[in-house]
Amino acid sequence: MPTAFLNARLIDPASGLDSPGAVLVENGTILDFGAHLFAGGAPSGVETIDCHGHVLAPGLVDMRVFTGEPGEEHREDLASASAAAAAGGVTAFVIMPNTSPVIDDVALVDFIRRRARDAARVRVHVMAALTKGLAGQEMTEIGLLGAAGAVGFTDGTKPVMDAQLLRRALTYSKLFDSLIVQHAEDPSLAAAGVMNEGELSTRLGLAGIPAAAETIIVERDLRLVELTGGRYHVSQISCRDTLEVIRTAKRRGLPVTCGVSADHLSLNETDIGEYRTFFKLSPPLRAEADRQAMVDGLTDGTIDVVVSGHNPQDPDTKRRPFAQAADGAVGLETLLPVILERVHNGDLPIADALACVTCRPADILGVDAGRLAAGAAADMTLIDLSKPWVVDADALKSKSKNTAHENRRFQGRAVRTIVGGHTVFQT
Amino acid sequence: MSVAAEQPGLSFPHKHLLGIKGLTAHDIHALLDLADMYVDQSRQVDKKSSILRGRTQINLFFEASTRTQSSFELAGKRLGADVMNMSVSTSSVKKGETLIDTAVTLNAMQPDLLVVRHPDSGAVALLAQKMDCGVVNGGDGSHEHPTQALLDALTIRRRLGRIEGLRIAICGDILHSRVARSNIHLLIQLGASVHVIAPPTLMPAGIEALGAKAFSSMLDGLDGCDVVMMLRLQMERMTGSFIPSTREYFHLYGLDYAKLAYAKPNALVMHPGPMNRGVEIDSRVADDADRSLIREQVEMGVAVRMAVLDALSRHLPNR
């Protein structure tokens, strides 16, 4: 039976649609939608869902998620990550290849996709390793991996340092129009650093990572992009100077895109307080001026996408002295609320904000998602823009509870998540 | 019977001593006043009192230490505590979970006072969260070493009568030094002006936000200083090249009479030890009985640690 979503505020960032209306779904795809639909009244022979005037938007696409599957399922598996995603209004996410074993082989891409089909509530895409074993020395089989379904190539948490290798990868990937994704941090400058370098690292007696460790890699890579014309994406930027470098490159028309994590939009280094390891991230949380620059970059469109950077860690890896603790925070369930916070603060309109987590990541990845369109998959998120709520770590769906937003008050969240026409989450 | 009745009055409202940051000038002077009394006690033939009789003190050192550990051991014993030393090599305790486990295990042994040194900044505070007893930070990473700063302050206060209004230079590897951070907090809290002097590669970012004035030249930094505190060059914390050689370091930053001449006449010289003679300090300066306070610092160390153990023990439940 077809399903009608009635009494909704439809927002489709790709087409600029923002109007009251309805959506009709059958067999997992959108048949029709718009203000005209069912304007005369409730249809018959159709299952109806009243949206109570909430925003019905394309489901969120999260470009950067870590799971523990395969290898460390006690931290997170595809099933638990997808439950967290559904609860956060995320209908598709991309997992990073930093698993055990590393996703650098066609069989592993295949394995993940099959596992996801069986176990996950939302759509799972795979980003494969750019170098074999993430060792930074030999290129993986970009063509075969892409054919198997890999949506991009990255060494995840490791920067590709060999300039010659990156140059060849950017050149070779043009054959398939593949996306090359960099984690921008110069390891020799970052060295033993565990947080942003500055007054606070000095006070805490922790080794710092200068902002230049990020900027210098992006500057170098952009030269290679210019040389090769390959499609290049910086997974997460964190500092003002990097933003400026990317802004200039975009103005010159280079094929470059970049993302920022929700945490870097909403937190800064002072949140570390007295060695709170849940705020130990990579790249590190930066100064307030950098955070503000990230918001500006989002507003003016220099930053293309917002990611959760979801990285589940358990007490074994987090309840340690700061320098020894693992990087990362879970974020699938707080991605949308952080973005809505920017909307409520007046930094950018709702449609632009949603574009950063719907059509733009879908376009960069080349996946069919992120749009309300006739014939498109019925992956949608119903959003209550004003619902106040408080983050309770224990209530998170993720197996790991290392949120950087515990007890934080948010306004607005996903109240229903729909994948292929089926409701996979509902408050 | 109230314990407080046997002891001089003291208002020190902290259960642990994890750092100088967070202490008021009043807290610091209260500890120093108490330490003055313990200097006298330690100079008597019978050095022992019974304030901590029946109490158990554990010295837990994750980093090798001779001076600090023996100073804490002596301090505890002079107050009548049962003192146990535990040296844990960091190679066997790499995981923080093990650190928490260690804390839980030790806590079950019901110590009254725990002194901890650890190579990671913040590790002592992390461990203290799991302990019911009083915890003293015996040095954590590059963060704080509060008893060193207190003993330095006691040494200066006894020699010059005050700390307020003095100009004090701290020279050397500021970047890796917990002694420098604790001293900056303490000296500024007590109204001194602090000059930090280091080669630019060993000067941490944003140090002036702590209230100190930064110099890369010894001659500029020492100008008008009443006290010159030298720091040890911490070779073991240096990964990569911070300075070209110890020879060049001594040439530029080693304290000899020529450089000391830029400080006030009769300026005093201090060093937390152990010294690298000929690297950061010239032997003749270090051994100059009129100028060097280095041996006195060691004596004050025991008294200050007695005061700290005493102060924290007053928050313990009486049996």
Residue pLDDT, tens place only, A194-213: 999 999 999 999 999 999 99
Helix (H, G, I), strand (E, B) or coil at A144: helix
The pLDDT of B265-288, averaged and rounded, is 95
Residue B317 above 90 pLDDT?
A: no
Residue A109 and residue A279: Cα distance in Å, rounded?
Answer: 31
pLDDT of residue B102: 86
pLDDT of residue B92: 56
Cβ contact, residue pair B141, A323, below 8 Å? yes
Q: And the tokens for B299?
A: 């004596």
Residues of chain A with C-beta less than 8 angstroms from the C-beta of B142: 205-207
- Which of A274, A316, A325 lies nearest to residue B125, judging by beta carbons? A274
Nearest-CA distance A137 → chain B (Å): 24
- Which of B126, B181, B204 lies nearest to residue A321, judging by beta carbons? B126
Q: CB contacts < 8 Å between A and B, how many?
A: 84
Nearest-CA distance B140 → chain A (Å): 9
- Identify the H or E element spanning B27: helix B25-42
Which of the four pLDDT bands, split at 50, 70 and 90, describes residue B100?
Answer: confident
Q: How many CB atoms lie within 10 A of CB A346?
A: 8
CA closest to A200 among chain B residues: B206
Residue A326 and residue A278: Cα distance in Å, rounded?
Answer: 9
Residue A86 and residue A413: Cα distance in Å, rounded?
Answer: 11
Nearest-CA distance A322 → chain B (Å): 7
Q: Output b/e per residue, B95-128; b: 16+ Cβ within 10 A.
A: ebbebbebbeebeeeebbbbbbbbbbbbbbbbbb
- Which of A192, A315, A321 lies nearest to residue B99, judging by beta carbons? A321
What mean pLDDT, rounded, does chain A reach? 96
Residue A167 and residue A232: Cα distance in Å, rounded?
Answer: 11
- Identify the H or E element spanning A48: strand A47-50
Residues of chain B with C-beta less than 8 angstroms from the C-beta of A315: 97
CA closest to B99 among chain A residues: A320
CA closest to B182 among chain A residues: A203
Nearest-CA distance A80 → chain B (Å): 24
Q: Are A217 and A226 in contact (CB under 8 A)?
A: no
Largest separation between any pair of C-alpha atoms in chain B: 62
Residue appearing with tokens 């307080």 = A273
Residue B248 above 80 pLDDT?
A: yes
CA closest to B123 among chain A residues: A321
ipTM value greater than 0.85: yes
Nearest-CA distance A211 → chain B (Å): 12
Phi and psi angles of residue A398, each rounded to the nearest 5 degrees, phi first: -65, 150
Cβ contact, residue pair B181, A205, below 8 Å? yes
Q: How many CB atoms lie within 10 A of CB B159?
A: 13
Residue % of chain A over a pLDDT of 90: 96
Enumerate chain B positions whose Cβ falls within 8 A of a Cβ in A.
21, 94-97, 99-100, 118, 120-123, 125-126, 140-144, 178, 181, 204-207, 209-210, 239-240
Tell me, what amino acid is at B107?
Answer: N
Residue B239: which residues within 8 A CB-CB, separation 6 or more? Answer: A191, A192
pLDDT of residue A315: 87
Residue B107 and residue B99: Cα distance in Å, rounded?
Answer: 12
- Identify the H or E element spanning A56: strand A55-58
pLDDT of residue B239: 62
Which of the four pLDDT bands, split at 50, 70 and 90, describes residue A3?
Answer: very high
Q: How far is CA A270 from CA A27, A273, A280, A417, B309, in A?
A: 49, 6, 11, 34, 32
Residues of chain B with C-beta less than 8 angstroms from the C-beta of A208: 205
Pairing of strands A409-419, A380-390: antiparallel
- Pick from A338, A355, A354: nearest CA to A412: A338
Residues of chain A with C-beta less than 8 angstroms from the C-beta of B96: 319-321, 324-325
CA closest to B176 among chain A residues: A205
Cβ contact, residue pair B100, A319, below 8 Å? yes
Residue A297 above 90 pLDDT?
A: yes
- Which of A199, A208, A321 lies nearest to residue B96, judging by beta carbons? A321
Tell me, what amino acid is at B166?
Answer: L
Residue A68 and residue A76: Cα distance in Å, rounded?
Answer: 5
pLDDT of residue B10: 81
- Pick from B50, B71, B48, B49: nearest CA to B61: B71
Residue A97 and residue A160: Cα distance in Å, rounded?
Answer: 14
Cβ contact, residue pair A208, B205, below 8 Å? yes
- Pick from A219, A234, A258, A140: nearest CA to A183: A234
CA closest to A316 among chain B residues: B97
CA gyration radius, chain A:
21
